Amino acid sequence: MKCWFGLPEESGAFPFALRFQQGTFYFLALGLAGSSIDVMEAPDSFNPIAHGMTAIDASTAAVYLRRAFSDLQQEEWVLIETLLPVGGSSLTLPDFKVEHAKPTHSLRAPESGAYFSFGEENLKQGMAAVALAVKNPLVPHREIIEAAVDTMADMSLTLPVRLKWQLALEVIALINQQNGAEKVAALALQNAAGLYFGVPGSKIPFVRDWSEQALMSGLAMARMVEKAKHVEGNQ
């Protein structure tokens, strides 16, 4: 069996491909780990690496796929799970040290990391604080925005989200290790450790930095809207 993983999507689910033989036929399993899986006859032209995926040892890949699909009993997964090798292990998480978990630029870059998305309700509450800062010039903007960033980062980490993104960051580490990017892998494992040990989102650089980017983008948009309203009012 040959296995490939891709970098996680904004949901935290990561794409995978498995190529395996049954009798004289070769099959391909494609999907998003923990979400969906399809099985088809393997075309000769399929090249996962050309689609941005990285080859992963089958025993190691099996461990991560079993973790991702632990709550899913889709018929295709039940079949594939019986074919996976046993005896692999996950990467070892270090003790969390926030100073070793940043900077996060490489973890947030599309070629080596992932985008962390926030729920609609979390964004709505965060943007409400941003709107307050924009509309009230006498209020200290930075303090309000910093508090909103921290709050949104903390609130985003429900237990399911925490577990999914711990796994996603471990996969980011695994892929970067395979690609020789050891520093990026180490950063990913540090942030994954923060999630594993129950550290608040505001103290996990990967989560907080995405929270800040989301709200600062919202702040820029809000300021543009306020400026447009001001210009219209003076015409």
Helix (H) or strand (E) holding 219: helix 205-233
| pLDDT exceeds cutoff 90 at 136 | no
Predicted confidence band at 138 (pLDDT cuts at 50, 70, 90)? low
| Residues in a beta bridge with 54 | 5
Burial of 62 (0-12, 13-18, 19+ CB in 10 A): buried
Convert the pLDDT of each residue in 155-182 to its tens digit: 999 999 999 999 999 999 999 999 999 9
Mean pLDDT of 45-71: 92
Mean pLDDT of 13-22: 92
Please give the mean pLDDT across all residues of the chain: 89
Cα dihedral: 149, 202, 101, 179 (round 10): -70
Query: Which residue, chain included where needed, has tokens 């025993």?
Result: 59
pTM here is 0.89
- Is the CB of residue 73 less than 8 Å from the CB of residue 37? no
Mean pLDDT of 187-208: 98
- Is the CB of residue 60 less than 8 Å from the CB of residue 84? no
The listed range with the strongest mean pLDDT (23-27, 51-55, 142-146, 196-200) is 196-200
